[in-house]
Amino acid sequence: MTFLVAAIAFFVPTIGTICGIGGFAGRKVSSRIDDRAVDKLFIGLMVVIMGICAFNMIKYMGV
């Protein structure tokens, strides 16, 4: 078995487990916060994603 295959065989179940834990935690948190807080978190996440996109444009396109 090559290193790449061994690494993939290790990381796939690990990532699945982390996603499962995140889904469980997200379900618990979402039942405790109101819609206004969810909207603020969503807008904040969009700002972060736009910031990452702008950073990548400046870095790789030379804008």
The rounded Cα 31 to chain-centroid distance in angstroms is 20
Residue the block writes with tokens 């796939």: 12
Residue 59: predicted pLDDT = 92
Listed by start position, the domains of the chain span: 1-32, 34-63
Condensed to tens digits (0 to 9), the pLDDT of residues 17-38 reads 999 999 999 888 888 889 899 8
| Assessment of whether the complete model's pTM goes beyond 0.75 | no
Collapse the DSSP code of 8 into the 3-class scheme (helix H, G, I; strand E, B; otherwise coil) and give the result: helix
